[in-house]
C-alpha cells in the first residue's frame, strides 16, 4: 500500500484502505482530537500510550491509527476471541494471549515480533486509568526480550492532541528506564484527567 502521510515513516507497519482512513479522520473530527508528530523510522518497536487517564485516550488513539493507516498489535486475553468478537478484534489488530497455566506472555510478544518484518505492539503502561506510582513493566520486558525500542504516543488532554512523541532512551536497567519514562511523561504531558496522573 502506498500513500503520502506526514505521520508515517517508510518502515511503518500499515493496514486499512481509503475507507478506514476516512473513518478514522471522521472520528478525530467529531471528537475534536487531532494527531501530531511522526512514527519512528524503524520497522519494529513497542508503542506505549500515556498518560492514560480516560477512555477518550483509547478512542482518540484508535481513530488516529485508523486515520493514518498505521497497523499496531494490541494484546487481549484469548478468552475474548469468541464469535463475533474474535474476527473484529483481529481486524483491528488484536492478538490473543494466553495468561494461564504459567504461560510466558513476554515470549508470546517476542513471537509476534519475529512473525513479520514490520511490527508494532502497543501497551498502556499504567494498566489502568487510575493514578499509579509506577508503570507496569511488561512493555519494557517485552522490548528488552525482542530487542526493539520503545516509542511514546502521548495524550495531551488540555489541547485534545494525540502526539507521536519520541523513541525513549533505554539503558537495559528495567527499574531506571521505567522510572525515567514515567518522569518524562509526567513532566511533559498532562492527561485528560490530571488528578489521575501523578
Q: Which one has a higher pLDDT value, 168 or 91?
A: 168
Q: What's residue 158's pLDDT?
A: 95
Instruction: Give residue 9's pLDDT band: very low, low, confident or very high (50, 70, 90).
Output: confident
C-alpha cell of 188? 511533559
Q: How far is CA 179 from the centre of its chain?
A: 19
Question: How many whole angstroms separate alpha carbon 52 and alpha carbon 11?
Answer: 26
Task: Collect all residues with Cβ–Cβ distance below 8 Å to 17 and sequence separation of at least 6.
Answer: 1, 69
Its pTM stands at 0.87
Ramachandran angles phi, psi of 157, nearest 5°: -60, -50
pLDDT tens digits for 70-120? Answer: 998 887 777 777 777 777 777 767 777 777 654 588 998 999 999 999 999
C-alpha cell of 11? 518502515
Q: What's residue 197's pLDDT?
A: 81
Share of the chain above pLDDT 70, in %: 94
Mean pLDDT across the chain, nearest whole number?
A: 88
Instruction: Give residue 1's pLDDT band: very low, low, confident or very high (50, 70, 90).
Output: very low
C-alpha cell of 26? 471522521
pLDDT tens digits for 28-46? Answer: 999 999 999 999 999 999 9
The bridge status of strand 94-97 relative to strand 73-77 is parallel
Residue 87, SS3 per DSSP? helix
Amino acid at each position: 500500500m502506498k500513500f503520502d502521510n506526514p505521520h508515517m515513516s517508510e518502515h511503518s507497519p500499515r493496514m486499512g484502505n481509503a475507507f478506514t482512513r476516512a473513518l478514522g479522520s471522521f472520528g478525530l473530527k467529531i471528537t475534536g482530537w487531532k494527531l501530531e508528530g511522526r512514527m519512528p523510522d524503524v520497522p519494529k518497536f513497542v508503542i506505549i500510550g500515556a498518560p492514560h487517564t480516560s477512555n477518550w485516550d483509547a478512542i482518540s488513539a484508535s481513530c488516529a491509527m485508523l486515520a493514518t493507516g498505521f497497523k499496531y498489535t494490541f494484546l487481549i486475553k484469548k478468552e475474548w476471541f469468541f464469535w463475533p468478537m474474535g474476527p473484529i478484534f483481529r481486524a483491528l489488530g488484536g492478538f490473543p494471549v494466553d495468561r494461564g497455566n504459567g504461560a510466558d506472555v513476554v515470549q508470546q510478544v517476542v513471537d509476534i515480533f519475529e512473525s513479520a518484518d514490520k511490527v508494532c505492539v502497543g501497551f498502556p503502561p499504567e494498566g489502568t486509568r487510575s493514578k499509579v506510582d509506577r508503570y507496569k513493566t511488561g512493555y519494557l520486558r517485552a522490548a528488552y526480550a525482542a530487542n526493539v525500542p520503545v516509542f511514546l504516543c502521548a495524550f495531551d488532554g488540555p489541547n485534545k492532541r494525540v502526539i507521536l512523541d519520541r523513541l525513549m532512551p533505554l539503558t537495559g536497567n528495567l527499574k531506571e528506564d521505567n522510572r525515567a519514562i514515567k518522569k518524562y511523561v509526567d513532566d511533559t504531558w498532562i492527561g485528560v484527567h490530571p488528578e489521575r496522573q501523578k
